[in-house]
């Protein structure tokens, strides 16, 4: 499970010492109301200072104090008119992103203070967010919680280590990574690891681990369609060894998320990495429950980063999928990745047995001469959000699409590639808008409507938002 967001709260007061003494009770009441409501809600952790900001010195000191406590973000609370220069100084010395919060109270000009502070921050080029209203109102509380959750996502990216197994796959420009850009924009380090390390480590996996996994798959997967040649029990065990080896390399190298090239070195000469891509992204395997580890096929690094953002935001597995076809008769976009996706999406159940019962392991296509299986399922219907980080002349933007996954007769899967996992999705606009504007062959999704959160995350990361809509 992801950790709780940590939000720091600073109360801002008047700069005149005597006036501050008169008003500090009102300032504190506003701070206490926010802190008490958030703690009662329980979704985020809250840290608060012992004193209020009422001078240049206290603005700097208290902001630095909060920053040292490693908060994900800081909320500035305004119950009265507070000198806006205090907010500017606190923002320059504190831990952003910043949320300016004021109660709509006609007795005291907290809203005025928020607007004046916001203007000061914009004068300095400091982006921020605002919320106005009584924290006891559900929508106001939700805005604060959402802000903290989004800040946690952004803060969590900083310091992460991405494992890139292999290089560019199949000539795809949109899958490559700029180490300098990632470090500058997101604070993410990129570790290059040769795919031969997976092969080497696979030879050292204990036989009892392999047999345990093989029994578990045999008992729980709905159908394993061996063909006696390229997909046999021994070849499945080879894929198990590759998965176990990849897990070991993730642990040894302290990797937070990964991408694996696969084609064609692995898929034509050893086996496909489909089993690894499925179960790394899953919240379980034969060893029991586990946190999903984002694994992007074909070493698609912008895919992996998009998936990591979605995972941090939702605490759920994330779908990696190929844009494959538009079914005009049913007005459905068909997404069909070349071999694998998280098995969680087969039934979206917390019980792995329900999910795996709807999974079929098919023999890999003939072009993947190394053999092994593809992981087939049809994604369970539900409201969902598709997202993808794309680049234009080196500048990032995030494409965001609210959609609905729908079910189709299983025979429809044979119209594309029946061996592969399928997602059938209804888009809220004409498919030509998607085809004319989307700049990658891969996209990613989670259940639920997360459009507003992704917009906020993009603003925090200074990334352009590309909402595809009618």
- Model pTM? 0.96
Distant-in-sequence, close-in-space partners of 409: CB < 8 Å, separation ≥ 6: none
Would you place residue 423 in the very low, low, confident or very high pLDDT band (cuts 50, 70, 90)? very high
Look up residue 161 and give its two tokens: 């280590």
Predicted local distance difference test score (pLDDT) of residue 170: 85
Q: How large a percentage of the chain has pLDDT more than 70? A: 100
The pLDDT assigned to 334 comes to 97
User: Phi/psi zone of residue 92: left (φ > 0), alpha (ψ -120 to 50 degrees), beta?
Assistant: alpha
> What pLDDT does residue 180 have?
95
Q: pLDDT tens digit string along 294-339?
A: 999 999 999 999 999 999 999 999 999 999 999 999 999 999 999 8
Q: Are residues 154 and 460 in contact, defined by beta-carbon separation less than 8 angstroms?
A: yes
End-to-end CA distance of the chain: 36
Q: What is the pLDDT of residue 468?
A: 85
Cα 134 from chain centroid (whole Å): 30
pLDDT at 2: 73
Strands 373-376 and 360-363: antiparallel
What average pLDDT score do residues 217-246 get?
A: 99
* CA distance linking residue 177 with residue 163, whole number of Å: 11
The residues near 32 (Cβ < 8 Å, ≥ 6 apart) are: none
CATH number attached to the domain at 6-157? 3.40.50.1070
Under CATH, domain 161-467 is a member of which superfamily?
L-fucose/L-arabinose isomerase, C-terminal (3.20.14.10)
Question: Could you write out the DSSP letters of every residue in 153-220?
Answer: HHHHHTT-EEEEESS--TT-GGG---HHHHHHHH--EEEEE-THHHHHHHTTS-HHHHHHHHHHHHHH
Instruction: Check residue 293 and give its pLDDT.
Output: 99
Q: How far is CA 332 from CA 16, 31, 412, 432, in A?
A: 64, 49, 11, 12
Query: 247: pLDDT confidence band, cut at 50, 70 and 90?
Result: very high
Res. 212: pLDDT tops 60: yes
pLDDT at 469: 77
Summarize pLDDT for 11-35 with one digit per residue, the tens.
999 999 999 999 999 999 999 999 9
- Residue 173's pLDDT band, with cuts at 50, 70 and 90, is confident
Q: What is the pLDDT of residues 348-402, one digit of tens each?
A: 999 999 999 999 999 999 999 999 999 999 999 999 999 999 999 989 999 999 9
Average pLDDT over residues 220-245: 99
Which pLDDT score is estimated for 107?
84
Averaged pLDDT of the chain = 97
pLDDT at position 396 is 97
> What would the mean pLDDT of 216-232 be, rounded to a whole number?
99
Answer whether residue 1 shows pLDDT above 70: no
Sheet holding 98-102, edge to edge: 45-48, 6-12, 73-78, 98-102, 129-132
Q: Residue 218 — pLDDT band, cuts 50, 70, 90?
A: very high
| Residue spans in the chain of domains classed CATH 3.40.50.1070 | 6-157
């Amino acid at each position: 499970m992801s950790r709780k967001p940590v939000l720091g709260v600073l109360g801002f007061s008047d700069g005149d010492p005597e006036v501050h003494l008169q008003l500090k009770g009102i300032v504190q009441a506003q701070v206490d109301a926010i802190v008490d409501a958030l703690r009662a809600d329980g979704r985020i952790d809250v840290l608060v200072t012992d004193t209020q900001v009422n001078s240049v010195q206290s603005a700097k000191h208290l902001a630095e104090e909060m920053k040292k406590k490693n908060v994900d973000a800081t909320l500035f609370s305004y119950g009265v008119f507070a000198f806006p220069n205090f907010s500017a100084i606190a923002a320059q010395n504190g831990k952003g992103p910043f949320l300016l919060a004021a109660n709509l109270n006609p007795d005291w000009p907290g809203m005025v203070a928020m607007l004046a502070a916001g203007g000061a921050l914009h004068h300095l080029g400091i982006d921020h967010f605002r919320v106005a209203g009584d924290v006891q109102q559900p929508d106001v509380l939700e805005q604060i919680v959402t802000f903290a959750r989004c800040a946690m996502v952004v803060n969590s990216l900083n310091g992460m280590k991405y494992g890139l197994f292999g290089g560019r796959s199949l000539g795809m420009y949109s899958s490559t990574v700029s180490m300098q850009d990632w470090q500058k924009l997101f604070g993410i380090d990129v570790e290059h690891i040769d795919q031969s390390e997976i092969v080497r480590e696979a030879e050292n996996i204990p036989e009892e681990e392999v047999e345990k996994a093989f029994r578990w798959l045999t008992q729980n997967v709905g159908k394993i369609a061996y063909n006696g040649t390229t997909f046999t029990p021994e070849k499945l065990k080879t894929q198990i060894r590759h998965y176990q080896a990849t897990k070991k390399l993730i642990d040894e190298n302290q990797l937070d998320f990964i991408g694996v090239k696969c084609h064609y070195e692995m898929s034509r000469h050893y086996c496909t990495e489909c089993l690894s891509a499925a179960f790394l992204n899953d919240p379980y395997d034969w060893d029991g429950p586990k946190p999903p580890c984002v694994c992007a096929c074909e070493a698609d690094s912008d895919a992996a980063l998009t998936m990591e953002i979605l995972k941090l935001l939702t605490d759920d597995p994330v779908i990696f999928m190929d844009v494959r076809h538009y079914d005009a008769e049913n007005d459905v976009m068909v997404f069909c990745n070349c071999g694998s996706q998280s098995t969680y999406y087969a039934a979206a159940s917390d019980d792995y047995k329900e999910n795996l019962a709807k999974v079929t392991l098919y023999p890999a296509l003939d072009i993947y001469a190394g053999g092994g299986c593809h992981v087939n399922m049809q994604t369970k219907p539900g409201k969902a959000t598709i997202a993808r980080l794309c680049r234009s002349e080196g500048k990032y933007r995030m494409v965001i699409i609210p959609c609905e996954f729908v079910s189709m007769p299983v025979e429809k899967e044979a119209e594309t590639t029946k061996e592969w996992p399928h997602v059938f999705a209804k888009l809220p606009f004409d498919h030509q808008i998607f085809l004319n504007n989307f700049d990658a062959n891969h996209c990613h999704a989670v259940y639920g409507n997360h459009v507003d959160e992704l917009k906020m995350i993009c603003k925090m990361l200074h990334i352009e938002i590309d909402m595809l809509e009618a």
